[in-house]
Chains A and B, each alone.
Chain A
Amino acid sequence: MSVISKPPALRSPQQNKKPGSRTGDLARKISSSAVMWLLVVVYGFPTLWFVMSSFKPAGELFSYPLTFFPSRFTLDGFTEAWTKFDFATYFFNTLIVAVGATVLTVVASAAAGYALAKYRSWWLKIFAVCILATTMLPGETILAPLFVVVRNLGLYNSLSGVIVPAVITATGTFMFRQFFVTVPNDLLEAARIDGSGEISTFLRIMLPLAKPIIMTLAIFSFQWRWNDYLWPLIILNDPNQFTLQIGVASIIGAQNINWSVLLGASVMSMIPLVAIYLIFQKYVMSADMNAGLKD
């Protein structure tokens, strides 16, 4: 709770005092809160309904009248998804992709961001522009040739073919650049005077300082890769390599959708990200964000 209520505290102290002293503020509090809670219902209900449905027995899913609560809670949909749908394979494939890409993304972005923040040369400037250009040239606009390149590199139908092209991110690089720019240069100078090499300064002094950025980018990168659909779909051909999103989409693509399995698989696929978010939400919410943060 302390984590959650921290950000608004920036401004509320001054403003909180005033409202209490004026008439009509109570009315405003009530109306504002009412609007917010109405929106909470609007935003929360679809997921809630979906999750409640996943606990219904298959026969009850389509029987009118629909009820919010299942007549009896059952985990059949989940077990069916786990066994029939090969959930475990897809889950671990997705985990490999997400973890692998996240580790590489953080390493590559931290190093490049540090270089952009603390060194100056003409080729670094060009490099910065190139990285920015990647946001203008997203994968979707070079889908077919990118596929050909990855195939020529021998990465087709392998998880590394999904991971490697996803590692480079302008967002991550500039998040780190922006952070390292705020780190005083005196620190770097002091390390140099002490005879610390450039690389060891980065690894031993700078990187530990950047922990909040590392966490934020790690969470974002994990979310990007966990939820990615189009790129894995193009690269992966063998069902044993499928990620969760391809798996779930394949259920929808079937002639007759097995909703019981679909609901179970979908709900299970959401669990890791929700868990990560609930544990690390301060890194997402307090992220003083670079606005380029969208993949």
Chain B
Amino acid sequence: MACGPPRGVGHTVESEFTMVDTVAAATPGKRRKLNSYTGAPLLFILINLILFCLFFVWPAAIGLGYSFTSYTGIGTAPFVGADNYTRLIDDPAFWAALWRTLIYTGSVVPLSFVASLGTAYLLVSPYTKGKGFARIIFFLPWLISPIVAGVIWRWLFGENFGLVNFIITELGGEALPWQSNADLSLMVVIIAATWGGTAFNMLLFVAALKNVPVSYYEAAELDGAGAWDKFRRITLPAIAPTSFIVVLLSTLHAMKEYSLIVAVNAGGPGTANNLIVQYIYNTGFKKAQIGYASAASFVLLLILMVIAGIQMMANRRKES
């Protein structure tokens, strides 16, 4: 079961594997059939198999190779040993981008977790009216591309023309430098990302919340449990697998953010808000340092794997 897909929305995991077994049990002994049972599945997976080799195995292999060279995209790729990696360690721009990415991720993940669980809870609650419309509005940001979402928030938070500063000045406050202050600028990106990331996670939470057995709540109600007690002691534990998936996916997603920040402030002011993928893009494609960018990519990959590993371990400990 360990190699199954990320799950947690309440699928009947157990039945899957017994079914696979019955297929196998029903088939042995037929020689002629056996051949077609090798040929057919091979044909079925052929497209994905070729694509996997072409666009994952091949680039991963040459990427690892490039990370030890000073390849520029054309000509030869002179071997430089671990030079790229040692340079990376001394590169303040790399560390700045990494630090900024961690701040960004550390803010977006909890915020969108709360927002998506909250909206999902309201959408399955028997007490709310007008769910149909609310669902559409909550889901709308998912349809909007990160670029356009960035434009929407940039428009709201424009320094000289945005609605937010207009309201602040109308209320007698001082217009805030949403674009030219690095921290405020990152805050706008975080708000935009939370807004844009809520819908998808909400969908996962809605599915999970609907799978919590009603009898649990009824039993708790008989015991006189309040709404908060029920939420904390029944809902949260019951949806824990989904919460884990949401945190994991959101973290990995936030670590790779690029489009949204391009649209909100292009990683500015200056390079203050360059996130890690933007750093890789700039070194690899703007400065044509493919070798160096490959090294940075592998460091990112390593970080993502460590994050995923830590979260999985934490999840396992919680379960046991």
A residues with CB within 8 A of B: 1, 4-5, 7-8, 10-12, 14-16, 18-19, 25, 28-29, 32-33, 35-37, 39-40, 43-44, 46-47, 49-50, 53, 61-62, 64-66, 104, 107-109, 111-112, 114-121, 124-125, 127-138, 140-150, 153, 164-165, 167-168, 170, 173-174, 177-178, 181-182, 185, 188-189, 192, 197-199, 202, 223, 226-227, 229-230, 234, 245, 248-249, 252-253, 259, 262-263, 266, 269-270, 273-274, 277-278, 281, 284-285, 287-294
A108 touches B51 (CB 8 A): yes
A294 touches B249 (CB 8 A): yes
Q: In the assembly, what is the distance between CA of A37 and CA of B58, in Å?
A: 50
Q: Is B48 an interface residue (CB 8 A)?
A: yes
Q: In the assembly, what is the distance between CA of A109 and CA of B47, in Å?
A: 9
- In B257-281, the 8 Å CB interface with A consists of 258-259, 262-263, 266, 277, 280-281
Q: In the assembly, what is the distance between CA of A266 and CA of B147, in Å?
A: 9
Which residues on the A side are within 8 Å of B62 (C-beta)? 145, 148-149
| Known contacts A115-B44, A144-B294, A8 near B52 by CB under 8 Å | no
Q: In the assembly, what is the distance between CA of A120 and CA of B21, in Å?
A: 8
| Known contacts A4-B132, A136-B304, A145-B66, A65 near B214 by CB under 8 Å | no
Q: Is B89 an interface residue (CB 8 A)?
A: no
Task: Write out, one digit per residue, whether chain B residues 238-266 have a CB within 8 A of any chain A CB (1) or not (0).
Answer: 00001001100100110010110011001
Q: In the assembly, what is the distance between CA of A253 and CA of B267, in Å?
A: 11
| Known contacts A19-B126, A29-B129, A245 near B145 by CB under 8 Å | yes
Q: How many B residues have CB within 8 A of the partner chain?
A: 125
Pick the contact of A112: B40, B47, B146, B256 (CB < 8 A): B47
B residues with CB within 8 A of A: 3, 5-9, 11-12, 15-16, 19-24, 26, 33, 36-49, 51-52, 54-56, 58-60, 62-63, 66, 73, 118-119, 122-148, 150-156, 160-161, 163, 166, 170, 195, 198, 200, 203-204, 206-207, 210, 214, 217-218, 221, 227, 242, 245-246, 249, 252-253, 256, 258-259, 262-263, 266, 277, 280-281, 284-285, 290, 293-294, 297-298, 300-301, 304-305, 308
